Amino acid sequence: MKVLAFLLIVSLLVAGAAGSLLYAPLTPPGETFVELPPGTSAQKLASNLQQAGVIRSSYAFLLSRAWKGGRLRAGEYRFIDAADTATVYERIAKGDSYTRALTIPEGYNLYDIARAVQAAGLGSASDFLAAAQSNTGLIAQWSPLALSLEGYLYPDTYLFGHTATPRQMLQTMVRRFGKAAAQIGLQGDVARTVTLASLVEKEVRFDDERRMAAGVFENRLRLDMPLQTDPTVIYSALLAGRWRGTIYRSDLDYDSPYNTYRHRGLPPGPICSPGAAALRAAVHPASTADLYFVADRNGHTQFSEGLQQHAAQVQQYRAGATAAHR
């Protein structure tokens, strides 16, 4: 009886100790990140969690895994609040990894995206810009002579771990572009199509007007008329570090290959990341006789065949804008 009593007491103590290791909450030493690369063993992860101060015992973690089953899901995990070992295991088994959202709207250029990366806490804007200029091999299949990844970082919301490198983020965005390009059916001179789409994206707000704008650009290109689109002037100023928030006469006169007031034809590359609607418009421009367009007070695009009609529309827009500011 004494032996049985002793064994019972020992069993209770062991169960209590195991229960304490499994269910006694532990607060990490501040914000703590633990990464689980694919192929990491359960033993290695358990050891890393213990060393990071997230769990009390690696053995308790392995016991929890043996008891509850499931598989460990790769990812980066963030720990800041008190949690017991069983809860930590459940998070990793569910794949509740830590990510930061990065949203790239249609029409963002590299400078906009770099600022968004920095605002999301995913690295410095300057490092991202440098990587976008040095990793042009990522888009060699579409634009072998590109000087940057401008235009090929597809607009979307991305989820990245806080240790994601600029190149990893760029690779993800370019892969997303590749999928969209396949769905839209981009073929032939993809670099030209993306460049045209970027102008359409910047000039036209409403999707149902984009094909008409693409048709106007194609007409002007066919007739060797300068495109004279303001977004290219802004982009040339951005590249030169001289953009002051509004277009000045000196910007219109600035000799940049991106300035479509000074140079005929398309600029040498995209000026932003176009979305699906703009890309489709560039692939299938409308058949039209129009050569001009201007936005009205509501942001809709007014198209015209002749310069006289276009000038009247511009004057109407300016008069409305003046009246709205009185």
Tens of pLDDT, residue by residue over 286-310, are: 999 999 999 888 889 999 998 767 7
* Burial classification of residue 153, based on how many CB atoms lie within 10 Å of its CB (0-12 exposed, 13-18 middle, 19 or more buried): buried
- Report the alpha-carbon distance of residue 276 to residue 185 in Å, rounded: 11
pLDDT at 5: 44
In the structure encoding, which two tokens stand for residue 206, read together? 């409403």
- In this structure, of 26-35, 82-91, 148-157, the range with the lowest mean pLDDT score is 26-35
What are the extents of the domains in the chain? 19-94, 100-184, 190-324
Q: Report residue 268: phi and psi, to 5°.
A: -70, -10
> Closest by alpha carbon to 152, among 86, 100, 198?
198
How confident is the model at residue 24, as a pLDDT? 76
* Mean pLDDT of all residues in 32-46: 88
CA distance 190 to 196: 10
- Residues sharing a CB contact under 8 Å with residue 319, sequence separation 6 or more, in sequence order: none
Instruction: Give the pLDDT mean for 269-296.
Output: 96
Residue 319 in this model has a pLDDT that exceeds 70 = no
Residue 55: closest CA among 94, 21, 98: 21
CA distance 175 to 169: 10
Say yes or no to pLDDT of 6 above 90: no
**Is residue 181 over pLDDT 70?**
yes
Render pLDDT for 186-236 as a digit per residue (tens, 0 to 9). Answer: 999 999 999 999 999 999 999 999 999 999 999 999 999 999 999 999 999
One-letter amino acid at 310 equals H
SS3 of residue 73 by DSSP: coil
What residue type is 99 in one-letter code? T
> What are the tokens at 99?
């990510």
Phi, psi (deg, nearest 5) at residue 127: -65, -40
H or E segment to which residue 177 belongs: helix 166-184
3-state secondary structure of 182: helix
CATH code assigned to 19-94: 3.30.1490.480
Non-local CB neighbours of 15 within 8 Å, separated by 6+ positions: none
pLDDT band at 11 (very low <50, low <70, confident <90, very high): very low
pLDDT digits (tens, 9 = 90+) for 113-142: 999 999 999 999 999 999 999 999 999 999
Phi, psi of 79 (to 5 degrees): -125, 130
d(CA 293, CA 215): 11
